[in-house]
């Protein structure tokens, strides 16, 4: 397997913590399976459009992009530094040299915004190259009949299929005779010690003891719960923001320019985490932090499914009245479950690599 070449195609170019970090994790996991792992440097039009520092699509977007310019430049530099240091990028032109093409993870099969041809490997490939999906997500809890027809056709070109959520398996399995596995997100494939190698330097002016808030959706409940936790534990609050310029809720410190490495450090150093993000939940678990997750209003299956899997369903709450700080998390039990899931992922990837090498 050592000489085989595997290429990942996913949202590695997004200015999004979860997207970049899951890509890094899958690359590292593949590399540990004794193959040469690369990330195909594909960039969607939609991604490139959204990454422009000055936006002209509407007067509101233009004004907002001007106000955010300095912050976005600093953040962009940190993301680019992380990609340059940690991702083995290969031009999309050389995809035809790969023995194995891995689709995902992340919402690469969400037809609402993904370039579906690229994320189903509909491009020139090496003869006999194998195409597999690893924890691909459809990004929604329900799928239209028109989308199901589209999936049925496109799944014909995928040799081995795995998805991230059970709802995706339930939707897609009737469309194909191939077995569909449910696999954990790539970020959970690496141990805490492996993640620590990717952590950057400390952020200047950090608060030493804090509740970390990571809110993609800016739900009021997220901040109310965080404030209650902070008050009861006698801690300050830090919010790491992924986008936006308004500070709608009271926090002691807002971090607006963290790159992926700095993002990881904020989780590692937190005393407690409150989040309404899937990957916020993941990194709370990886660094063994006490945490609460606030459910997504429309796409809650990925959070609830993950927490049920590891026996932490009680960490999903929607009101500050549900805060119960006396309940501790048994991370030894969580790790036992994750070890078993990593073994399942290893077997899946090893089978894909063996098939790519023509082994029985």
Determine contact, residues 265/199, Cβ cutoff 8 Å: yes
**Nearest by Cα to 26 from 92, 95, 101, 122:** 101
Which pLDDT score is estimated for 46?
A: 47
Which pLDDT score is estimated for 29?
A: 96
Task: Specify the pTM.
Answer: 0.90
pLDDT in tens, the chain (360 residues): 457 899 999 999 888 999 999 999 999 999 999 899 999 998 764 454 455 555 556 666 655 555 555 567 778 889 999 999 999 999 988 989 999 999 989 899 998 877 678 999 999 999 889 999 999 999 888 899 999 999 999 999 999 999 999 999 999 999 999 999 999 999 999 999 999 988 876 665 567 899 999 998 889 999 999 999 999 999 999 999 876 555 567 899 999 889 999 999 999 999 999 999 999 999 999 999 999 999 988 777 788 999 999 999 999 999 999 999 989 999 999 999 999 999 999 999 999 999 988 765
Which pLDDT score is estimated for 24?
A: 97
Which pLDDT score is estimated for 62?
A: 57
């Amino acid at each position: 397997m050592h000489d085989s070449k595997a290429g990942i195609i996913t949202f590695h170019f997004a200015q999004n913590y979860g997207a970049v970090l899951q890509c890094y994790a899958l690359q590292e996991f593949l590399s540990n399976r004794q193959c040469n792992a690369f990330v195909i440097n594909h960039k969607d039009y939609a991604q490139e459009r959204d990454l422009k520092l000055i936006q002209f699509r509407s007067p509101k977007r233009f004004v907002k992009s001007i106000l955010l310019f300095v912050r976005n430049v600093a953040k962009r530099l940190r993301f680019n530094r992380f990609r340059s240091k940690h991702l083995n990028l290969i031009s999309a032109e050389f995809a035809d040299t790969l023995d194995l093409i891995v689709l995902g993870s992340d919402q690469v099969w969400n037809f609402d915004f993904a370039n579906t041809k690229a994320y189903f490997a509909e491009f020139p490939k090496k003869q006999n190259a194998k195409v597999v999906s690893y924890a691909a997500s459809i990004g929604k809890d329900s799928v239209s009949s028109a989308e199901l027809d589209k999936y049925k056709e496109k799944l014909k070109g995928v040799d081995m299929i795995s998805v991230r959520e059970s709802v995706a398996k339930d939707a897609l399995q009737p469309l194909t005779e191939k077995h569909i596995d449910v696999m954990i997100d790539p970020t959970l494939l690496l141990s805490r010690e492996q993640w620590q190698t990717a952590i950057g330097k400390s952020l200047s002016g950090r608060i030493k003891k804090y509740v970390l808030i990571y809110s993609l959706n800016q739900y009021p409940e997220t901040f109310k719960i965080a404030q209650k936790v902070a008050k009861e534990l006698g801690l300050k609050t830090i919010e790491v923001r992924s986008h936006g310029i308004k500070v709608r809720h009271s926090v002691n410190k807002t971090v607006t320019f963290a790159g992926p490495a700095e993002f990881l450090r904020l989780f590692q150093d937190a005393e407690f985490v409150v989040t309404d993000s899937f990957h916020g939940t993941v990194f709370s678990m990886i660094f063994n932090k006490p945490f609460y997750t606030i459910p997504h209003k429309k796409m809650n299956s990925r959070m609830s499914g993950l927490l049920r899997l590891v026996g932490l369903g009680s960490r999903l709450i929607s009101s500050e009245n549900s805060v119960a700080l006396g309940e501790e998390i048994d991370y030894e039990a969580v790790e036992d479950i994750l070890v078993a899931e990593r073994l399942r992922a290893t077997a899946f990837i090893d089978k894909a690599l063996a098939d790519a090498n023509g082994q029985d």
